[in-house]
């Protein structure tokens, strides 16, 4: 039985459909990401799970128990707020103890739990500080400790890293993963940052305009996107729009402005004449000064964007399309702006998108 | 100074500054007059300093205070009691109103606040007279109750302590609601949600989060009601009975009926002394909580 089961849930705000017939399941011990652009309904979905919003349709069950109408104070989930929402009139220990006081935990056990939580987030020296005396990273730790203090079955995190600066974000991401592994609680977190989702989650639900566009493991979402939206939102991508035609021994994609049809993997099984898009990740593109054997597209180097270990080579092809290739910076040194190159890829590395 | 101290000053800072300029300075003048004696001169009191045979001599004395201390202190006790009762009632009535306005849909809040301050558009004197028309034995309320057959003889609703407290609560309620609304509307909604998320039922959310965070507003509102209420003259004079003696009335009698400025000034200074204690107490309370 999944820990969290959401079935056909919908939520409207007036005429705006925030969440539209979403179904998903989160297993025990999972680190699950709700990923999408702002306004896609991911935060509303999180608030529905927490109980701050009631759905118009559908059901939410946690550990097999229906929670659809249960008020937030009786749900076995806790939430870490994007703003952290620390109580300004209580010190760090008081904030962490808040939930334990509500369930009238006996004092000695409560103090021990607060000490454990402080140790877990490495804030033991700050127990008597007030929230306004803490840095952003410290507040984040206290918010995490407070949300975990009641040992919820499920922890909800609303943009957990958004308020931190870049360097701290990296560190905190690793810490969150470490804490999640140690305590084994399921985490569901909301993010608009695909890097954060890919770097933290075991599975991702990509959301688009209130609906789930695709659910899958991180590699699956990245390597095998189902739609143009998912391919474009999760990572950089080169897209070719075209029509399926018969190829040499498998289907191929005829793209306006590209001379030869682009060969596709043999696994593609769709009728000829279907309009599809082909998605190729920049790091899958191979560049060579000489024409390689087999399929290749002639291109001109428009610019090279150095990014440390790797460089992004921006290309234009005869059709006027712009392509991006990610190559090791050492290899990029072989190219110059204005140079003619050949771009190719393994058909198995490209994803065919029907939507 | 912590964050809550800073916010508290934002709430009570402007009225505080106002009092400093328009209250503290005149207060010095009143204090000086309270140390002199009444005289048939213009102004009707003896100068504090006179040119005597040995140069400047002080005529200041505490005689006025001595007379007050030996006399009837009931007026002070009454004033304190009525003002305290009115403050508590204003808090009990005003808090739910302020809370409801702060929680109302955004579009409703300003119209609702407007309704709270609407009575100020009419003079207090006229509004108090309106209460007389409502409360007197042949007034609206008694006639309505009699008409409904609920009473046989008119209820004694006016010229007693009840009508004085009613008048005070009615007149000063907006002064309680406005600062309370100020601090309640600043309350971050996510704090309420966080409390509920951590297992707090609505009543506990109120006790553990909303109430402590609104204490600066409670303190500001309580002071804004208590301080003017204790020296109130119009309401006890018009709505009170012969037995309702309040400091404001004593002051009026000394000043206008007896033309004894120094005695009136001493009464006023005693009032200030009385007010200082609760003011410090309220401040201490908020500081400890914040």
pLDDT digit string (tens) for A184-198?
899 999 999 888 898
Whether A131 and A43 share a structural domain: yes
Q: What is residue B218's predicted lDDT score, i.e. its pLDDT?
A: 92
A276 and A331 both lie in a single domain: yes
B117-155: per-residue pLDDT in tens? 999 899 999 999 999 999 998 889 999 999 898 888 888
pLDDT tens digits along A82-104: 999 999 999 999 999 999 999 99
**A160 and A192 in contact (C-beta within 8 Å)?**
no
Q: Which of A102, A130, A147 sits opposite B2 (nearest CB)?
A: A130
User: Which domain-ending residue is among A210, A228, A246?
Assistant: A228
Give the pLDDT score at B185. 93
Q: Of the given ranges (B94-108, B218-232, B265-279), which has the lowest mean pLDDT?
A: B265-279
Contact at CB, B193 and A88, closer than 8 angstroms = no
**Cα–Cα separations (whole angstroms), residue B2 to A129, A345, B9, B103:** 12, 62, 11, 27
**Percentage with pLDDT > 90 across chain B:** 41
Residue A6 confidence class, pLDDT cut points 50, 70, 90: very high
Q: Are residues A183 and A271 in the same domain?
A: no
Residue of chain A whose Cα is closest to the Cα of B288: A89
* DSSP strand pairing (A31-35 vs A203-208): parallel
Question: Is A102 close to B199, i.e. CB distance below 8 A?
Answer: yes
How many angstroms away from the CA of A71 is the closest CA of chain B?
8
Give yes or no: residues A91 and A223 share one domain.
Answer: yes
Complex prediction ipTM: 0.84
CA nearest to B189 within chain A? A85
**CATH number for A197:** 3.40.50.300
The whole-angstrom separation of Cα A322 and Cα B148 is 87
**B199/A50 CB distance under 8 A:** no
Contact B196 A99 (CB under 8 A): no
* A258-284 pLDDT, tens digit each: 777 777 777 777 777 788 888 889 899
Of A51, A85, A150, the CB nearest to B194: A85
Closest residue in chain A to residue B205, using alpha carbons only: A102
A314: domain CATH number is: 2.40.50.100
Q: Which domains does chain B have, with CATH numbers?
A: 72-289 (1.10.3720.10)
Quick one: A74 and A218 in the same domain? yes
- Greatest mean pLDDT among A28-32, A317-321, A329-333, B65-69 lies in A28-32
* Helix (H) / strand (E) containing A306: strand A297-306
Residue A348 has pLDDT above 80, yes or no: yes
pLDDT per position as a tens digit, A220-247: 888 888 888 998 888 888 888 888 887 7
Cβ within 8 Å, pair B204-A87: no
Lowest mean pLDDT among A79-88, A246-255, A270-279, B68-77: A246-255
Query: Is A268 found in the same domain as A207?
Result: no
Q: Are residues A271 and A300 in the same domain?
A: yes
* Count of domains forming chain A: 2
Q: Are residues A288 and A224 in the same domain?
A: no
Rounded to two decimals, what is the model's pTM? 0.80
Pairs from A126-131 (Cβ < 8 Å, separation ≥ 24): A126/A92, A127/A91, A127/A92, A127/A93, A128/A91, A128/A92, A128/A93, A129/A91, A129/A92, A130/A88, A130/A90, A130/A91, A130/A92, A130/B2, A130/B3, A131/A84, A131/A86, A131/A87, A131/A88, A131/A90, A131/A92, A131/A95
Q: Does B199 sit within 8 Å of A83, measured CB to CB?
A: no
User: How far is Cα of residue B275 from the mean position of the Cα atoms in its chain?
Assistant: 10
* Chain A partners within 8 Å of B188 (Cβ): 83, 85
Residues of B in contact with A150 (CB under 8 A): 198-199
Of A212, A228, A244, the last residue of a domain is A228
* Same domain for A150 and A258: no
Residues A14 and A132 reside in one and the same domain: yes
Higher pLDDT, A37 or B283: A37
Domain that holds residue A324: 236-353
B189 at the A interface (CB within 8 A)?
no
Per the CB < 8 Å rule, is A103 touching B199? yes
The domain boundary, picked from A228, A250, A265, lies at A228
Confidence of residue B1 (pLDDT cuts 50, 70, 90): very low
Provide the chain A residues 321-340 that lie in CB contact (below 8 A) with chain B: none
């Amino acid at each position: 039985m999944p820990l969290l089961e959401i079935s056909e849930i919908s939520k409207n705000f007036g005429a705006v459909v925030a969440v539209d017939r979403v179904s998903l399941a989160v297993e025990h011990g999972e680190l699950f990401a709700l990923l999408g652009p702002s306004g896609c309904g991911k935060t509303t979905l999180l608030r529905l799970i927490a109980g701050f919003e009631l759905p118009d349709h559908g059901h939410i069950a946690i550990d097999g128990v229906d929670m659809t109408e249960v008020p937030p104070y009786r749900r076995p989930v806790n939430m870490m707020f994007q703003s952290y929402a620390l109580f300004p009139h209580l010190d760090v220990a008081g904030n962490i103890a808040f939930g334990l006081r509500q369930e009238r935990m006996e004092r000695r056990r409560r103090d021990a739990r607060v000490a454990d939580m402080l140790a877990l987030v490495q804030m033991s020296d700050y127990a008597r500080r007030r929230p306004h005396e803490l840095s952003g990273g410290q507040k984040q730790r206290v918010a995490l400790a407070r949300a975990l203090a009641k040992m919820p079955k499920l922890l909800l995190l609303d943009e957990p890293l958004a308020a931190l600066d870049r360097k701290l974000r990296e560190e905190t991401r690793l810490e969150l993963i470490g804490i999640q592994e140690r305590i084994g609680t399921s985490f569901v977190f909301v993010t608009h940052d695909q890097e954060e989702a890919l770097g933290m989650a075991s599975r991702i639900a990509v959301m688009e305009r209130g609906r789930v566009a695709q659910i899958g493991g991180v590699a699956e979402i990245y390597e095998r996107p189902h739609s143009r939206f998912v391919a474009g939102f999760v990572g950089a991508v080169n897209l070719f729009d075209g029509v399926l035609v018969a190829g040499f021994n498998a289907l191929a994609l005829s793209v306006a402005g590209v001379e030869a049809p682009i060969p596709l993997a043999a696994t593609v099984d769709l009728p000829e004449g279907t309009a599809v898009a082909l998605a190729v990740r920049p790091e899958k593109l191979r560049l060579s000064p000489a024409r390689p054997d087999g399929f290749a597209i002639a291109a001109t180097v428009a610019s090279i964007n150095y990014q440390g270990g790797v460089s992004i080579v921006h290309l234009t092809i005869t059709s006027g399309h712009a392509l991006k290739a990610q190559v090791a910076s050492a290899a990029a040194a072989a190219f110059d702006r204005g140079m003619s190159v050949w771009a190719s890829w393994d058909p198995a590395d490209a994803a065919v998108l029907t939507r | 100074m912590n964050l809550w101290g800073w916010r508290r000053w934002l709430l009570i800072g402007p009225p505080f500054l106002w009092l400093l300029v328009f209250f503290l300075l005149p207060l010095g003048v009143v204090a000086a007059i309270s140390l002199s004696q009444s005289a048939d001169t213009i102004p009707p009191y003896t100068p504090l300093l006179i040119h005597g045979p040995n140069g400047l001599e002080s005529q200041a004395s505490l005689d006025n205070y001595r007379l007050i201390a030996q006399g009837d202190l009931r007026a002070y006790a009454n004033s304190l009691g009525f003002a305290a009762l009115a403050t508590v009632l204003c808090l009990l009535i005003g808090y739910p109103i302020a809370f409801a306005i702060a929680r109302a849909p955004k579009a409703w809040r300003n119209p609702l606040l407007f309704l709270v301050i609407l009575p100020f558009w009419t003079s207090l004197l006229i509004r108090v007279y309106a209460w007389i028309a409502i409360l007197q034995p042949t007034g609206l309320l008694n006639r309505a109750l009699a008409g409904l057959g609920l009473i046989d003889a008119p209820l004694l609703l006016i010229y007693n302590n009840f009508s004085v407290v009613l008048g005070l609560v009615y007149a000063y309620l907006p002064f309680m609601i406005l600062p309370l609304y100020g601090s309640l509307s600043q309350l971050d909604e996510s704090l309420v949600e966080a409390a509920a998320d951590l297992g707090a039922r609505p009543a506990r959310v109120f006790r553990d989060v909303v109430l402590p965070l609104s204490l600066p507003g409670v303190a500001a509102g309580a002071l804004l009601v208590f301080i003017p209420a204790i020296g109130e003259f119009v309401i006890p004079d018009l709505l009170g009975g012969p037995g309702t003696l309040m400091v404001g009335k004593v002051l009026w009698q000394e000043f206008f009926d007896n033309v004894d400025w120094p005695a009136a000034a001493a009464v006023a200074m005693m009032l200030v002394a009385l007010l200082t204690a609760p003011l410090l107490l309220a401040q201490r309370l908020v500081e400890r909580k914040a």
